[in-house]
Structure 1
């Protein structure tokens, strides 16, 4: 009940007040595990991607510091968040991620590891690719446009959803994680560049 109420309020806020535009909804699988890899521009991004993926309930990692406030921690847990200790190999967060994937649910990850302003993407951390390869889970690239808080926000608010990148289950290593990171990053950047130039978005 709590999730449903929060979700209705978020839908009203993003779609009817901020006029969120979503493209590529046909690329969202109706069931089964998938990792959603998105760029990160503001604290609004997790619920923003959540409402864009309207037919799926997402789980996502959030830095452990956000759970120190009991009320806010309760709220983001209702929205699918679970804590991760940044700048460390948090085995608890990794195990929780694997449980979500094995349960056939979608997992949202921000591979940049933190908020990055500007059009160009920052370096990807290896966690997203590691989990995808370890479990053989497809990755959906997602591009977030214009989610910066006012007064930095310019132009339209949009989420662009790319086609799933199929991933073969294997032992993750430096080579295959860098290769997957590079491919997903390239697709997100291509969607951002095309949208901001007013061109047709290449969902690839």
Structure 2
């Protein structure tokens, strides 16, 4: 069923983007393999990032890892299951790892947001090593991606979906090719550097000035929190969430 629903959803996203007048620029989609497994890792600044990555995936269906709470939602859950996305339970991470490994060995493309949360600093934060481990174990390419502009539509505590002619950039970098014997920490650092370079390029070439704007990183003259402050906010939010659960 996912083979039918996924193309329909991507088509709907294209139609909606056109209707909203979004100016979407995709570069480097030749780096997505035409066949076989791959792990795509993108920065995460917006709730809309999976749709932007899907548009840039050169026609390949992407199975994203997503928190179980999305699958439990009355509305979103139907879509997540229909699109064959992969649920992640923090307390049962091994199940998601096995499901992802099986997907890669079957020749599917998997999408990972390795920062594990939306980056409120709008820079590439510390990455978890799982994506590199999966790519190395499966012998598939690890593809860095930068998405920029989606956060102006919808990010943490901000949503303004109607912004005609808003530019959105998706840059897809050259694949890394980790092996089973590579150090996951080193692979992950190489990935982070590649993603940040792509994001720097997207931000540098972005046609709108972000000086003194909330959506621009601090180091580029915007008012977004710096990486350390953003990390502290994330830690506080995670602690509060754990407190609610307990």
TM-score normalised to structure 1 length: 0.86
* Separation in structure 2 between the aligned mates of residue 100 and residue 60 of structure 1, nearest angstrom: 11
Indicate whether 1:56 and 2:39 are aligned. no
Name the counterpart of 2:104.
101
Name the counterpart of 1:91.
94
Q: Which residue, out of 47, 58, 73, partners 1:69?
A: 73
The superposition leaves residues 49-85 of structure 1 with CA deviations (integer Å, 9 ceiling, x where unpaired) of 1121131011111000111123311112233412101
Is the 1:119–1:192 Cα contact (8 Å) retained in structure 2? no
Q: Which residue, out of 179, 185, 188, partners 1:181?
A: 188
Gapped regions of structure 1 (runs ≥ 5): 200-204
Is the 2:63–2:84 Cα contact (8 Å) retained in structure 1? yes
TM-score normalised to structure 2 length: 0.72
Is the 1:147–1:157 Cα contact (8 Å) retained in structure 2? yes
Gapped regions of structure 2 (runs ≥ 5): 207-246
Is the 1:100–1:107 Cα contact (8 Å) retained in structure 2? yes
Q: When you count helix as a share of all residues, which structure comes out higher? A: 2
Name the counterpart of 1:156.
167
* Separation in structure 2 between the aligned mates of residue 136 and residue 16 of structure 1, nearest angstrom: 40
Deviation at 1:151, TM superposition (A): 4.7
Change (3 A) 1:28 1:84: same
Name the counterpart of 1:122.
125
Larger radius of gyration: 2
Is the 2:24–2:169 Cα contact (8 Å) retained in structure 1? yes
